[in-house]
């Protein structure tokens, strides 16, 4: 497949900037980011610091930048004809906000470490580096210091985003500089509690009618509602979980309505097929030049670490990849030499944010089996907030786009919104609805310079 270079120059360079910022000791970690100014009023519109999911899968900022919320998207018709081409995204979040999208850790996207020892990371380190990056970025771009700031993220970053926000609020209260104008968080399809969210999958599968009433009832009774850490001697529970697995193994967890596609045999009807274009596009040298990606230079320290071949180098990685299998997470995965999964839950961070002047928006696709809405509802309920507005439908083009509910404990507020028919990557499945929900939420605050409320 070929890449339309002229198209890249026209769309990338005219809509966004991409650079590096160093964090950590001696700035040994070089974090790559994409920045897009608001198309509406960049001086007043919110600044959205967007941390992608993962770690390891879908964590590169390139994924949301040209496939979800960024200013450009693939022209799929042209791209499937072996000419990978971009076009403007009519639902770019930059229509309502200034957006920073970051390759948050080494081994993801175009970020890198100057020494391989510095490439080791963890949930806690990612939190610290996110905050350090943001402070440095604002020092380099002082005209955005007064813009309302929202910490945002998706999927696995649901355990990171509240912690970053909390650190900013606490540092502001201590008088630390620079003072960041933080207003809250916007989190999409979040992993919040590693037990609660993964355990909710079976209840969600039952609600989706993927498992029958009798299978769900028997499994719930024999496993005592714990489907994650069950007693291995509890054979009845194990057998019932096997029955559940037989029912849902062929289901696409990202969106139960979508086909489950083989990675080695993608078809045009597979949304995941666009990852093929990402791989080609991200590894094209002209693309990397347009994005200001630094050229590769081997650090001598790597010569003594052959197990890191094709992983970390000084400069860009050997190959841009959508998934870094050495750091991506699953429920039973132990810490690796590259990454420690050391934050189990962010519910305590959410509880501490209740005392802050903090607005939170949680968006959930109602056909997501990765981190289902039912798990999100459970941890929100655990915050014991007062209900400000009851569960109700919300609309786009006079059609039900999803459902919403607002909680409050002044000065804190939280809106929980579902998007009908959306899966885990909400903006991928329902781009218009995702944009409208974000835009209306921003518009509900007095600082907003306008909105697209006609939708």
Residues near 265 by beta carbon (within 8 Å), at least 6 away in sequence: none
Residues near 266 by beta carbon (within 8 Å), at least 6 away in sequence: 272, 273, 275, 276
> Which one is catalytic: 45, 349, 366, 368?
368
Q: Hey, which bits of 117-165 come out as E strands? A: 121-122, 149-154
Return the biggest CA–CA distance within the chain.
63
Catalytic annotation on 307? no
Catalytic annotation on 368? yes
Dist CA 81 CA 275 (whole Å): 15
Dist CA 396 CA 418 (whole Å): 13
> Which one is catalytic: 424, 425, 439, 448?
424
> Which one is catalytic: 121, 155, 200, 346?
155
For 335-375, give the DSSP string.
P-SSEE----B-HHHHHHHTTSS-EEEEEEETT-SSS-HHH
The kind and range of the H/E element at 409 are: strand 399-409
Catalytic annotation on 229? no
Dist CA 399 CA 37 (whole Å): 31
Contact 60, 288 (CB under 8 A): no
| Active centre residues (catalytic) | 155, 368, 424
């Amino acid at each position: 497949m070929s890449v339309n270079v002229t198209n890249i120059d026209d769309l990338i360079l005219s809509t966004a900037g991409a650079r590096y910022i160093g964090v950590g000791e001696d700035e040994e970690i070089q974090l790559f980011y994409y920045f897009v100014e608001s198309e509406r009023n960049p001086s007043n519109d919110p600044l959205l610091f967007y941390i992608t999911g993962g770690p390891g899968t879908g964590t590169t900022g390139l994924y949301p930048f040209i496939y979800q919320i960024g200013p450009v998207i693939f022209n799929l018709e042209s791209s499937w004809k072996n000419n990978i081409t971009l076009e403007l995204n009519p639902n770019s979040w930059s229509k309502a906000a200034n957006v920073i999208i970051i390759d948050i850790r080494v081994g993801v996207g175009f970020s890198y470490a100057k020494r391989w020892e510095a490439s080791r990371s963890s949930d806690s380190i990612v939190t610290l580096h996110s905050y350090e990056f943001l402070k440095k970025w604002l020092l380099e771009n002082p005209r955005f210091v007064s813009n309302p700031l929202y910490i945002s993220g998706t999927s696995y970053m649901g355990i990171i985003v509240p912690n970053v926000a909390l650190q900013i609020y606490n540092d502001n209260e201590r008088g630390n500089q620079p003072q960041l104008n933080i207003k809250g968080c916007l989190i999409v399809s979040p992993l919040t509690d590693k037990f609660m969210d993964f355990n909710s999958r079976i209840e969600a599968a039952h609600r989706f009618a993927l498992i029958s009433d009798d299978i769900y009832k028997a499994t719930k009774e024999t496993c005592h509602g714990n489907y994650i850490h069950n007693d291995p001697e509890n054979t009845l529970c194990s057998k019932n979980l096997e029955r559940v697995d037989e029912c849902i193994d062929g289901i696409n967890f990202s969106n139960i309505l979508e086909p489950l596609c083989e990675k080695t045999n993608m078809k045009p009807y597979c949304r995941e097929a666009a990852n093929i274009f990402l791989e080609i596009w991200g590894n094209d040298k002209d693309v990397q030049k347009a994005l200001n990606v630094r050229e590769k230079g081997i650090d001598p320290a790597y010569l003594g670490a052959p197990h890191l071949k094709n992983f970390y180098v000084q400069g860009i990685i050997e190959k841009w990849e959508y998934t870094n299998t050495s750091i991506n997470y699953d429920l039973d995965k132990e810490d690796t030499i590259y990454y420690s999964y050391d934050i189990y839950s962010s519910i305590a961070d959410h509880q501490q944010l209740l005392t802050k002047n903090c607005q939170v928006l949680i968006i959930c696709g109602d056909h997501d089996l990765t981190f289902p809405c039912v798990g999100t509802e459970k941890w929100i309920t655990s915050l014991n907030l007062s209900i400000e507005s009851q569960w109700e439908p919300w609309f786009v083009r006079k059609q039900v786009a999803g459902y919403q509910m607002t909680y409050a404990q002044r000065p804190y507020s939280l809106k929980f919104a579902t998007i009908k028919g959306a899966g885990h990557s909400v903006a991928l499945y329902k781009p218009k609805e995702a944009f409208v929900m974000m835009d209306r939420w921003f518009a509900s605050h007095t600082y907003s310079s306008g909105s697209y409320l006609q939708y």
